[in-house]
Chains A and B, each alone.
Chain A
Amino acid sequence: MAVSRLFVANRGEIALRVIRTAKRLGIETVLGVSAADKDGLPAQMADRAVVLGPAPAKDSYLDVNLILHAALATGCDGLHPGYGFLSEKPDLSRRCAEEGLTFIGPRPETIETMGDKLSAIAVARAAGVKTVPGTDDLPDARAAAEAAEDLGYPVVIKASAGGGGKGMFLARSPDGLETAFIEATREAEAAFGDGRLYIERFVERARHVEVQVIGDGEGNVVHFGDRDCSVQRRYQKLIEEAPVTAMPAALREALWHSAVTLCAHARYRGAGTVEFLYDVTREDFYFIEVNSRIQVEHPVTEEITGHDLIEHQISAASGGGIAVAQDALTFTGHAIEARINAEDPEAGFRPAPGRLTAWHPPAGPGIRLDSHMRPGDLVPPFYDSMVGKLIVRGESREAAIEAMLRAIGDFRIDGIATTLPLAARIIAHPDFRSNDITTRWLEDRLLPPADVA
């Protein structure tokens, strides 16, 4: 069903991002805000903004009943959940369907399946997509040694009943394996009362790579290429880029193919991201999870494809199918995104809410800023610390790096501390320039040890 009035159930830059595309498509927008956001730019840009509740998210952005009531009472026929908040709650998708609202996202069953790590891995295996190689429960150290030979060292021994790192042992060679197995059995029995163990390949040098897809819900899936998000701190991405340049071309094609196969198998509807671990040493990749929403880093894909992913999302969700054929998609240049978080990297990434006494973004060809902030705005302390995303595009990765460094240099922000100076340090670093980084690089190599304690 075509959407004519869209309820935006989110805040900040993604609310603004959705409103912009809706406006261009001639769709009216109603934004549900908390009292803390009622004077913000997204509220001003929407055709109408309604105040759901007080500032705490649980009384506003996370209250499914309030959001549905507001959407229905304002005559909306579609709902966009953005990312975070309720975007991956199957309940919202289900109840939108019950109330006759077009949910701009996957079906509730899909969100449910993809939201659970084990069921998502089961879908991947059923679709023939590779997951981290490993074994089932092993009877003894001898069986473990045989399995480890097949998997290739290093391997990690894990407790079947475990989690959170307990009962995990690394083995780099057959010598170490037997001792580690006995140790791990003992610890698993002590910690969980269950000594069963299995082993997995250990990925020592990993990169985080992902594939953007759009599905029509009927089993047709188009991919919009890949992204590399290996610069992370505590699993939070800080720098994202597209395309992936650290993998051989044939492997990248296999990566796209895996993502498409998996989502076609799941009859995926809407925008999704299939995340993989890239094993740099073995030149192999393994499925991790599917994010069944639009992602923070979607702009880098938009910059190199020239496609508006929010528009594709709306089209796919409202039965309009996929508006582009795979063959018609081309990738041009290189894009990098730096997240601007109101945090102080010099003080252990402490959140730094406050008032923006100055906010002068850079401008020029190839520079894009996705942000809802204006000079004088208050960064409220209630929500995620991200105040925007700076995105640049260049002809090559090298050109994009230089463009990003210039853009950050031209960006003046006063009143709050942000992660932008750190972004510049990362991007200017020889390891980043030579693309010799892993998901551990930022914490292990760049940040002083005190910061990652």
Chain B
Amino acid sequence: MPMKPSDVEVLIELFEASDWQEMHLEYQGEELFLSKSADAAGLQTGTVAIGASPALPTHASASLDTPGGALTPSPRGTIDPDRTGWEPLKAANLGTFYRAPNPEAPPYVREGSAVTPDSEVCLIEVMKLFTTIRAGLSGTVREIVARDGEMVEYGAVLMWIEPNA
């Protein structure tokens, strides 16, 4: 029985929670290589690099990359743009998504905004506790998927950012 995307997610979570630096798994002809270092040699193909590096302290688990973004359904009634090369910014837990620090303020970012890893891009609220979410990488905000004031689930794509070349 081949590994399913959900199996890979479970393995990634286990790995992330561990104090291991690298994991290399071969199972029925498939290979999985996980590393907490961006410099890891990795495999020739099929490398899954997970973003638990020190540069992403605020939402390490949100930057897990699952194949095809399967955790989040596409927004209703829209045609997906070509997101090749874009990075999803995902919710680290369930909460309410806010684009601005308060209702009167302008949004943190708009589509087209340039961001650095420390740029504040949105808020996630859980029972009146607000967490500021940062971009985690340098690039340009290409698409804001989550809607202001709506609940997002863990793993939901909040926005897509195109990293600087």
Residues of A within 8 A of B (CB): 32, 34-36, 38-39, 50-56, 59-60, 63, 65-66, 68-70, 73-74, 355, 357, 376, 378, 380-381
Residues of B within 8 A of A (CB): 1, 6-7, 9-10, 13-14, 17, 61, 71, 92-96, 125-127, 129, 151, 153-156
List 14 extra interface pairs beyond A52-B94, A54-B61, A355-B1, CB under 8 A.
Answer: A36-B6, A38-B6, A50-B153, A52-B153, A54-B13, A55-B13, A56-B13, A56-B17, A63-B93, A66-B94, A66-B95, A69-B96, A69-B125, A357-B1
Cβ of B153 to closest chain A Cβ, rounded Å: 4
Cβ of B151 to closest chain A Cβ, rounded Å: 4
Contact of B151 among A50, A60, A68, A357 (CB under 8 A): A50
Chain B residues near A50: list those with CB within 8 A: 94, 151, 153
Cβ of A92 to closest chain B Cβ, rounded Å: 12
Q: Are B1 and A53 in contact (CB under 8 A)?
A: no
Q: Are B9 and A53 in contact (CB under 8 A)?
A: no
Chain A residues near B92: list those with CB within 8 A: 53
Q: Are A51 and B153 in contact (CB under 8 A)?
A: yes
Q: A52 to B93: give the CA distance in the assembly, Å.
A: 6
Q: Are A35 and B93 in contact (CB under 8 A)?
A: no
Q: Could you give 5 example pairs across A and B, Cβ below 8 Å? A: A52-B153, A65-B127, A66-B93, A69-B125, A74-B151
Q: A69 to B128: give the CA distance in the assembly, Å.
A: 9
Q: A32 to B126: give the CA distance in the assembly, Å.
A: 14
Chain A residues near B71: list those with CB within 8 A: 35, 38, 51
Contact of B154 among A53, A68, A355 (CB under 8 A): A53
Cβ of A290 to closest chain B Cβ, rounded Å: 30
Q: Are A51 and B10 in contact (CB under 8 A)?
A: no
Which residue of chain A is the closest to B129 with respect to CB atoms? Answer: A65
Chain B residues near A74: list those with CB within 8 A: 151
Which residue of chain B is the closest to A353 with respect to CB atoms? Answer: B10
Chain B residues near A355: list those with CB within 8 A: 1
Q: Which 5 residue pairs of A and B lie closest in terms of their CB atoms, listed nearest first?
A: A73-B151, A51-B153, A65-B127, A51-B154, A53-B93
Q: Are B94 and A35 in contact (CB under 8 A)?
A: no
Contact of B13 among A32, A35, A378 (CB under 8 A): A35
Cβ of B157 to closest chain A Cβ, rounded Å: 13
Q: Are B153 and A69 in contact (CB under 8 A)?
A: no
Contact of A35 among B96, B126, B155 (CB under 8 A): B155
Chain A residues near B9: list those with CB within 8 A: 35-36
- With A53-B154, A54-B13, A381-B14 as given contacts, are A70 and B94 in contact (CB-CB < 8 Å)? yes
Chain B residues near A39: list those with CB within 8 A: 6
Cβ of B120 to closest chain A Cβ, rounded Å: 21
Q: A60 to B126: give the CA distance in the assembly, Å.
A: 13
Cβ of A44 to closest chain B Cβ, rounded Å: 13
